[in-house]
């Protein structure tokens, strides 16, 4: 019985370690083309040199709407030091609703439309919102968030990423 318990604990430890390694491994962000509400198109590679949060959201997503003021606060606090954000509206979100929301809330960061779902597909087939990816200055994904991030942890991670060389 003791041997089975030891084996079970060892398997759980190995699984936890593997999960941690998978979630902390940096991988390159996909090269996608963002379609902004206004202005010129840009790609993931054009954002290199900054720490960037790519946030998938929808105007109909209650959690997305609730976290948006914290996203604005983070952008205002961190953008002077090289932080940026792209709020990517999901393909099912009507462009007029996205534009109205952006204007009413005075969103200061980039807002993009994903009309054909290509950006969400490029980031691994994002379906649920909010889903966010934090990219370092080299364009690598350093963290993925499903739902609202732990903001203290988020700010600490952004601070570390900002301190790293590009």
Query: What would the pLDDT profile of 87-109 be if each residue is shown by its tens digit?
Result: 999 999 999 999 999 999 999 99
- The predicted-structure confidence for 7-25, as pLDDT tens digits, reads as follows 333 433 344 333 333 444 5
Dihedral pair phi/psi, residue 95, rounded to 5°? -55, -35
Q: Which residue has the higher pLDDT, 39 or 44?
A: 44
pTM comes to 0.84
pLDDT of 76 strictly over 60: yes
Helices (H) and strands (E) in the chain, counts: 5, 8
| Full strand arrangement of the beta sheet holding 140-146 | 27-28, 140-146, 131-135, 51-57, 83-89, 110-113, 33-36, 42-43
Residue length of the chain:
166
Q: Which domains are seen in the chain, by residue range?
A: 27-163 (3.40.30.10)
């Amino acid at each position: 019985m003791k041997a089975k318990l030891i084996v079970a604990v060892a398997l759980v430890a190995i699984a936890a370690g593997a999960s941690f390694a998978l979630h902390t491994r940096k991988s390159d962000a996909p090269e996608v083309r963002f379609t902004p509400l206004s202005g010129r198109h840009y790609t993931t590679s054009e954002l290199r040199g900054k720490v960037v949060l790519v946030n998938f959201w929808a105007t109909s997503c209650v959690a997305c709407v609730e976290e948006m003021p914290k996203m604005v606060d983070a952008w205002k606090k961190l953008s002077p030091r090289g932080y940026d954000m792209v709020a990517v509206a999901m393909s099912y979100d009507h462009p007029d609703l996205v534009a109205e929301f952006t204007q009413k809330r005075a969103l200061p960061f980039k807002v993009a439309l994903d009309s054909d779902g290509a950006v969400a597909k490029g980031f691994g087939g994002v379906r649920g919102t909010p889903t966010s990816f934090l990219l370092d200055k080299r364009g690598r994904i350093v963290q993925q968030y499903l739902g609202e991030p732990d903001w203290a942890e988020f700010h600490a991670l952004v601070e570390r990423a900002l301190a790293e060389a590009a």
